[in-house]
Amino acid sequence: MKTKDNQKQPRLNIWSYLRHYKGPIFLYIIASLIAAAASVVNTIYLANLIEIITKPNFLMPAIYCLLIVIGISIFQRICWYLTNVIYYKYSNKIMMDLNMDLSKQAFKLNSKTFNDHNTGSFVQRIIEDPATIVDNLATIIDVVADIITGIVILGYITFLNIWVSLCLIAIIIVAALIENKRLKVYRKNRLIIKEKNDKLHSLTTEIVRSEKDIKSLGLETKLYEVSKNYYEDYRSTRYKTDLKDVNLWSSRNFIIGVGTLLILILGIWLLDKGLMTLAAFMILYSNRDSLWSVIRGLGNISNILVRINVCHNRMFSLFDENEYVTEKFGNKHFDKLNGIIEFKNVSFTYKEYDYKESKNKKDKNKKLKILKSKNTIFKKLSFTIEPNKTVAFVGKSGSGKSTILNLLSKMYEADSGKILIDGHDIRTLDKQTLRSTISLVNQFPYIFDMTIKENLLLAKFDATDEEINYTIKQSALKEFIDTLPNGINTKVGESGIKLSGGQKQRLAIARALLRNSSILIFDESTSSLDNFAQNDIKKTIDNLKGSSTIVIVAHRLSTIKDVDKIFFLDNGKIIDEGTFEELFNRNEKFKTMFLAENI
């Protein structure tokens, strides 16, 4: 036995990712600020040009002034080009780092966590939220540079005249108050929109994946109505929230627009009274939108910060153990276990939770976990499975058959009691030991959009051709593969769409066998197949008897006639156990189930 250290602590904020590229980011900021400074210098030089051309012998001084402006403009273009190169190169690297870490964290979540959250929430958090953050961080730098430019120009204007300065300050104060109100509303509404978008994304994904079922059942009209309701809910919510935002935005812009015109009127009056020079007025006139640019820029930064904050909290909520529960493993490592399985007084209750925003200011980014409902499946369940034996769990729907498999494979965590493999509590085993010991074939296995060979190599990337061919024969895939023009290199389509149900099952079995696990689990693996495909899978499983501990959850009792032992479940309790013949002869419930199936 060996022990392994726990994995390192993940990075839990965006700044830890940015620090990794601090050199290029610093260069990006400097180049952006230099470009902004160039705009300010050009504005001042062009203002001086107005004064120069009002004087005699202005030709050469004016040309020199323009040459300086041209040189500064060229340098500014170089800075902008540099910022674009840095952005396109490093933004993709930062997004990839985020995508990979978030994907890795998603793999750590337990199965119940996936059941409790919709698909859209994961896709948005792993793919779209990182892209939104990185794009908006770059935008912030650009907007800040524009704001600095505008502030410097406004500062220059206020330096020219005290009355203009006082008017600018008054307008900025009023606009800032309105903007602060708008920001509070926008922050709240942004989170609502994101949650609605998650639901839309999940529905769209489900529709795409269930295309055949939708057509075969004639569900197009019904799902169109469902989709319409979802989109209408999203549109209505978006409209209401955007309308609130635009009302405050428009009020702010109206104040700025009217204020700018009043400042120009003031400038004309000052010019008439000889209290302002023509050059100063021309600077005021040509940069009359600077106030608008500064306030708009501050508003944009407010929006961007809200978007970043919402996406940031959503992304890293995947690391919140309260809402997104991860799998827990021990540190015991074994190269190989024999496959003795034992449940000792295991209890399990399926709990369903709601998650609501905390009203506590200190925990405003966390969600409260509220128990919605619970359903007790087992109370002190006990049984033992000997190594290299083939056993089956049968019983009516809801009796707890699949839950046993989820607990054994540690997809679910038991509330109490112990689950042992070779006498070791599975909670003490490290991830590698547990996952390599158990291979699971689900009722609807997922086949990836790859070739048959690539799907097999996912289970064992270094498998030899000899191992692959042997596995293909064991799983009864050879005859089918031999009929394909490209053989094992045939692409099977997304979710194995080009394969029949039986072919998918056999490929999933081959993938599991290639791992050479001590324990093989088949969860309702034949329930959705026709009789011919079912018999093929049954023969495949029968061929494996004695080589591994095989655990089967069966819907069709005819598929488990030859197993070594059957556990008969009813309401979370094992009410009988034995061979098929023993149960058929002594247990009326079991006999009735079998006869009803074969009528």
Task: Look at residue 539 and tell me whether its pLDDT is greater than 80.
Answer: no
Instruction: List pLDDT tens digits, range 120-139.
Output: 778 888 888 888 888 888 88
Return the biggest CA–CA distance within the chain: 121
Give the Cα separation of 440 and 449 in Å (integer). 20
- Rounded average pLDDT over 489-508: 83
**pLDDT on residue 238:** 78
**pLDDT on residue 356:** 67
Task: Look at residue 527 and tell me whether its pLDDT is greater than 60.
Answer: no
Nearest to 548 by CA among 411, 438, 392, 413: 438
Give the Cα separation of 496 and 447 in Å (integer). 5
Half-sphere exposure of 494 (CA within 13 A, CB side): 4
Architecture, CATH, for domain 384-597: 3-Layer(aba) Sandwich (3.40)
Half-sphere exposure of 293 (CA within 13 A, CB side): 17
Tell me which fold the domain 13-319 belongs to: ABC transporter transmembrane region fold (1.20.1560)
pLDDT confidence of 519, banded at 50, 70, 90?
very high
Q: For 127-131, which contacts have Cβ atoms below 8 Å and span 24 or more sequence positions? A: 127/99, 129/311, 129/312, 129/314, 129/315, 130/94, 130/95, 130/98, 130/99, 130/102, 130/311, 130/315, 131/95
Task: Look at residue 418 and tell me whether its pLDDT is greater than 90.
Answer: yes
- Rounded average pLDDT over 521-550: 71
DSSP letter string over 209-275? Answer: HTHHHHHHTT-HHHHHHHHHHHHHHHHHHHHHHHHHHHHHHHHHHHHHHHHHHHHHHHHHHHHHTTS
Instruction: List pLDDT tens digits, range 463-485.
Output: 898 989 888 888 778 888 988 88
pLDDT confidence of 3, banded at 50, 70, 90?
very low
Question: Which comes out higher in pLDDT, residue 343 or 249?
Answer: 343
Query: Would you state the structure tokens that stand for residue 174, as one six-digit string?
Result: 């009023």
Three-state secondary structure call for residue 453: helix
In the block, residue with structure tokens 């890795």: 104
pLDDT confidence of 311, banded at 50, 70, 90?
confident
CA distances from 88 to 29, 95, 153, 205 (A): 14, 11, 30, 30
Residue 492 backbone dihedrals phi, psi, to 5 degrees:
-105, -5
Task: Look at residue 359 and tell me whether its pLDDT is greater than 70.
Answer: no
Q: 76-90, 219-233, 439-453 — which is least confidently predicted?
A: 219-233
- Rounded average pLDDT over 169-183: 77
In the block, residue with structure tokens 């702010």: 252
Note whether 146 and 297 are within 8 A (CB).
Answer: yes
Burial of 145 (0-12, 13-18, 19+ CB in 10 A): buried
Query: Would you state the structure tokens that stand for residue 348, as one six-digit string?
Result: 């399990």
- Rounded average pLDDT over 510-520: 87
pLDDT confidence of 37, banded at 50, 70, 90?
confident
Task: Look at residue 186 and tell me whether its pLDDT is greater than 80.
Answer: no
Domain limits, the chain: 13-319, 384-597
Three-state secondary structure call for residue 101: helix
Instruction: List pLDDT tens digits, range 392-407.
Output: 998 888 788 888 988 9
**pLDDT on residue 419:** 94
Mean pLDDT of the chain: 80
Residue 67 backbone dihedrals phi, psi, to 5 degrees:
-60, -40
CATH topology identical between 13-319 and 384-597: no
